Structure 1
Amino acid sequence: MVGTVTADPKEQQQQPVAMHIIKGEGEQDKHADGEANGEANGVANGDLKHQDGGSRTSADDEDDEESACEEEAEKRDELGILMEGKKQIQLHSGEVLEVGRDPQPPDGAKWGVRHVQALLLFLCTSTAYSLRVNLSVAIVAMVNQTASGNKDFPVFDWKKKTQSVVLSSFFWGYLVMQIPASQLAQRFGARFFLAGAMVGTGLFTMLLPVAAIFGDWPAVAVTRAASGLCQGFVFPACYVLLGKWAPPLERGRFTAFVIGAQLLGPVVMLPVTGVLSSSAGGWPSVFYASGALGLLVGVLVFIFVADSPAEHKHISEVERDYIQRSIGGSMRNQLKRTRTPWLSIITCVPLWATMISHAGQSWGFLTFITEVPTYMSSVLKFDIKKNGLLSALPYLTTWFASFAFSWLSDFITERKMLTLTASRKIFNTIGMWGPGLTMLGVGYISDSPPLAVTLLTVALGLKAGCYVGFQVNYVDLAPQFSGTSFSLGNFLANSCSTLAPIAVGLIVTDQTSIEQWRYVFFVTCAMFFLGNLVFICFGSAEVQPWNGSRKASMYLSKDSIASQDLERLRAAAAT
């Protein structure tokens, strides 16, 4: 007998069809029937188990696994359609499926391996940004004899335009790998490429002093482009892993923690770069130290990160089932059977809104990263040590603010105080229009350095809203293809933002002129404003059809859905 309760129509409109299992009372074995059904089909916990006993080839195994995955997917799809308009159903196994609720973490999975994975991804993004921004402060010592603590190292006669080309060269390689990186990480696993990216970036960073001394700025530009080529894998790989490890109710916190860690890179590296540049080791020590850190993080990732919960050797069964149930079963099998729907992706209006918002934010953020150290040195007259410390202050504020915004966002989502789309748009508005308006004030301050630093700090603090705005929206729209969709957005964003340092070089011909810097801040404000306006008008946080939303939002335990359940629902739907 199937017990169903009709859901409130308004609730159905706001919530996607999603199910999770509540254990019935007094049952000795909740999955007995389901496991028997799974074994009969050769599938248990997303892996094919062969019962024929005959000799088999790897090709036969792969064909059978594909067939089983397709059969399982069709079963889940039909079940999702039949569950429309119902609130719950009791399965033949005695378990109860509820519609419209995200599963809460069980007692044995409040803290677990997924948090360790997030911490390792945190180290990756923070270290990657450290290696990205170290040149922004070190270049001051490389072109200024008095800023270097060791006069034995050469100082280069690079004009502002040359410096801008050197600073932007990182993105030449970075852009090239965005789309290939996401496809490689999605198809072959993100762990290997993420570890290799960190090791490669570390090696090229350590080679930069040699390139500068023997090849001048062209060799430095090539070395930085090679570093960018390696780092092109970092964020697409992180998004692929987030799509597999982050349950919906924890997605805001996970994304803000991992992606927001890029702010910790400047927080640590900018002051450290200032200190190392003025030390006896001179500016080369900046690249040796940061490069070694990149090598270490790459090794840690290779050893401890897993491509999915199903592939982690030490994860508990309780936590693995919770993650897979929340995200929609074995993501590894979903990705094996699913090809990238390129046409649907590139014609998706909400995704374009997210990408355009990403582009506007990246222009503004890159201006902060590459040009604020020069602004503080030339206009506010800070020496290199103070330059590093004070340039890092806004990033530190943003890092702390990202935790507050992410917890608030997940709290609102869990309590259903706002729709997910409304929540994403509100936080994105805070994260883009707030910094844009604040930047206007910075352009009119030249005689009050503390006030300028305060405004820059407020601007980047508010920017943290973006981490639970457009940043997490890539995972919202398509958990299965979050790496691919992010790589497209990141390609567009960095294609635009790469022009930011070059534009500054064209606008600012006199680095001490506050009037010229004012135009830089005007342009930055406009990019923030327009990017968010598009997101408000066309953005959405609803899972897109091309993601295979029913597959991704079915919170099912392994093998719990048997053919008897489909027959019951078919009969109920026919009455």
Structure 2
Amino acid sequence: MAVPNDQNGDLNWSFQDTEKLLIPRRYTIAVLCFFGLANAYIMRFCISIALNEMVSYVPSNETVAFEDPNMCSYDNDTATIVIAENLEGEFDWSEQAQGVILSAFFWGYILTQVPGGLLAERVGGKHTLALGILISTICTLLTPLAAREGGVLGLIEVRIIMGLGQGFVYPSLNVLLAHWAPQQERGRLGSIVFAGSNFGTVVAMAVSGVLLSWFPDGAWHYLFYFYGGSGVIWLTLWWRMGYSSPINHPYISDKERTYLKKYYDESKLQETPLTPWGSIMQSKPLWGLIVCQIGHDWGLFTIITDLPKYMSNVLHFTIAQNGLLLSLPHLFMWSVAWSSGWLVDLMMEKKIFTVTKTRKIFTTLATIGPALGILCATYSGCNRFLVMSLLTIGMGSMGFFYPSLKVNSLDLSPNYAGTLMALVNGIGAISGVCTPYVTGLLISDNSLTQWRMVFWISVLVLIFTNLFYLLTGSAEEQPWNDPKFSLQLEDFPSSMERNNHNRIEIH
């Protein structure tokens, strides 16, 4: 039975009603974070589909394009439709210019990762996450104006600012998980939250393609207004229902509060610990995470930002077909992420492998699958069905990444979860800067040979970065997670008192 709202506007349920609903607050927070991340990815990547409508594309030599063995040719009707659609674009931007537009987001995204992590650790994940989504929402609503009034430079500026805002998102989510997700539930709660990226990408691709096919010619701007509106709706819900930690949640049940307090004590969680930068930057397991994140992001961003062009300009799918088919790998990835999250927690509960081995096994699965899928797709030529099947299965297996590498930083240090995620995600985002630019340089006439080179680069990066992680990665909690350890190092920087067993004495 509901009672009147509290002063913050949150609907106040009695503890008894909470128990009857059988929905722990930590899962409510996880679902809200899922939709927050989904909104962030929708606003981040919908431009990959929209550019196909915004920009005119005219083949440099139409006759050669349909006779060259390195170019895909289908029935004349399909080819005519694609060319006609692309000729109606509002802007005449080169492939290189489009590559810069797609990568501009990551220029800002890299810069605010560490500040976002530090801010989230000190003021709480709720407010930092809200700030990131707010900036993204404003930039999404301003995108049409920036493109039409400022051209390429105007759009680049808006994308950079959006990246600056979204740099807060992942560190904030990691801080929220550090407070709400005990280790024995970290796989499933982490998969729920981070699978929002897959759901958001599905919407950005599939729904965007359908909407653009429904809109009148030249009405692509409605797409950004639609997604900007969804960001406003999420912000309203988050402000009323989101909380940074169980400590300041007024409506959590006694049973859940006690359960999470035990986790707090075991993890030595504190609200505003000092950051042991020296120990963090010298951490071998952390650098293993960073390198592996670079490889994962390289493969993922190649598919998200560049595959729409491949499907439109090489396989000659229409805009509606393009969006729907692009959603398939992410739908599969989403289902794999959810199911593997529960599987990881079950394996850890039964102690089948150590936490470290479990994380490495699933991270490797998230690498081998995409590498094989991409590699086989590059040699499938113009067989549309085979190419999309291989990419769907291969990229879908990236879902194993979420209950493994994505939550690994929480294993290393719950206290500094925001900072670690900022470093891992921020440095990993270098891939987002590089992949669209590299593709723009390699692709001049959209031949199969040129695209094969793009995909081969992704495969090699995936494999070598995963090998580095296998050699250096760990899921053991690091000594510097304990704030007392950090304070000891600060108090005695030049000489440390040690006992007879060569251990640091903590007074």
Do the two structures share a fold, i.e. TM-score over 0.5? Answer: yes
Residues 190 and 307, structure 1, Cα contact 8 Å, conserved in 2 = yes
Cα deviation code 1:112-155 (max 9, x no counterpart): 1111000100011111101111000000000138779999x961
Instruction: Please give the residue correspondences for 1:455-474 in structure 2 after superposition, counting only pairs within 5 Å.
Output: 455-474=390-409
Q: Write the distance in 2 (CA, Å) between the matches of 1:142 and 1:450.
A: 27
Q: Please state how far the C-alpha of 1:468 moved relative to its aligned partner.
A: 1.9
- Name the structure 2 match of 1:155: 90
1:493 partnered with 2:428: yes
Q: Write the distance in 1 (CA, Å) between the matches of 2:265 and 2:406.
A: 21
Residues 130 and 290, structure 1, Cα contact 8 Å, conserved in 2 = yes
- Name the structure 2 match of 1:297: 234
Residues 126 and 263, structure 1, Cα contact 8 Å, conserved in 2 = yes
The 3-state SS of whatever aligns with 2:308 is helix
1:142 partnered with 2:54: yes
- Name the structure 2 match of 1:518: 452
Residues 134 and 269, structure 1, Cα contact 8 Å, conserved in 2 = yes
The structure-2 alpha-carbon separation of the partners of 1:335 and 1:128, relative to structure 1 and needing over 3 Å to count, comes to same
Q: What is the percentage of aligned positions where both structures have the same residue?
A: 37
Q: Please state how far the C-alpha of 1:264 moved relative to its aligned partner.
A: 0.3
Q: Please state how far the C-alpha of 1:446 moved relative to its aligned partner.
A: 2.4
Q: Please state how far the C-alpha of 1:549 moved relative to its aligned partner.
A: 8.8
Q: Please state how far the C-alpha of 1:330 moved relative to its aligned partner.
A: 9.5
The structure-2 alpha-carbon separation of the partners of 1:283 and 1:147, relative to structure 1 and needing over 3 Å to count, comes to farther
The structure-2 alpha-carbon separation of the partners of 1:147 and 1:191, relative to structure 1 and needing over 3 Å to count, comes to farther
Q: Please state how far the C-alpha of 1:296 moved relative to its aligned partner.
A: 1.4
Cα deviation code 1:16-62 (max 9, x no counterpart): xxxxxxxxxxxxxxxxxxxxxxxxxxxxxxxxxxxxxxxxxxxxxxx
Q: Write the distance in 1 (CA, Å) between the matches of 2:83 and 2:235.
A: 30
Residues 56 and 93, structure 2, Cα contact 8 Å, conserved in 1 = no
Residues 197 and 298, structure 1, Cα contact 8 Å, conserved in 2 = no
The 3-state SS of whatever aligns with 1:225 is helix
- Name the structure 1 match of 2:4: none
1:306 partnered with 2:243: yes
- Name the structure 2 match of 1:123: 35
Q: Write the distance in 2 (CA, Å) between the matches of 1:110 and 1:421.
A: 32
1:541 partnered with 2:475: yes
What TM-score, normalized to structure 2? 0.84
RMSD across aligned C-alpha pairs, in angstroms? 2.2
**For 1:417, which of 342, 352, 357 is the aligned residue?**
352
AA paired with 2:122? Answer: R
The 3-state SS of whatever aligns with 2:429 is helix
Q: Write the distance in 2 (CA, Å) between the matches of 1:306 and 1:525.
A: 40
The 3-state SS of whatever aligns with 1:468 is coil
Count of aligned positions: 442
Q: Please state how far the C-alpha of 1:108 moved relative to its aligned partner.
A: 8.8
- Name the structure 2 match of 1:555: none
AA paired with 2:476? Answer: E
More off after superposition, 126-135 vs 138-147: 138-147
Q: Write the distance in 2 (CA, Å) between the matches of 1:365 and 1:167.
A: 14
The 3-state SS of whatever aligns with 1:542 is coil
Q: Write the distance in 2 (CA, Å) between the matches of 1:360 and 1:324.
A: 36
The structure-2 alpha-carbon separation of the partners of 1:541 and 1:374, relative to structure 1 and needing over 3 Å to count, comes to same
Cα deviation code 1:234-273 (max 9, x no counterpart): 1110000000000111100011111121000111221221
Residues 149 and 279, structure 1, Cα contact 8 Å, conserved in 2 = no
Instruction: Please give the residue correspondences for 1:278-427 in structure 2 after superposition, counting only pairs within 5 Å.
Output: 278-281=213-216, 282-328=219-265, 334-336=270-272, 338-427=273-362
Q: Write the distance in 1 (CA, Å) between the matches of 2:85 and 2:211.
A: 10
Cα deviation code 1:407-463 (max 9, x no counterpart): 111110000011111111110000012211221111112221011100110112111
Cα deviation code 1:280-317 (max 9, x no counterpart): 35210110101111121122112111111010011112
Larger Rg: 1
Residues 249 and 413, structure 1, Cα contact 8 Å, conserved in 2 = yes
1:479 partnered with 2:391: no
Residues 56 and 89, structure 2, Cα contact 8 Å, conserved in 1 = no
Q: Write the distance in 2 (CA, Å) between the matches of 1:540 and 1:497.
A: 26
Residues 106 and 432, structure 2, Cα contact 8 Å, conserved in 1 = no
What TM-score, normalized to structure 1? 0.74
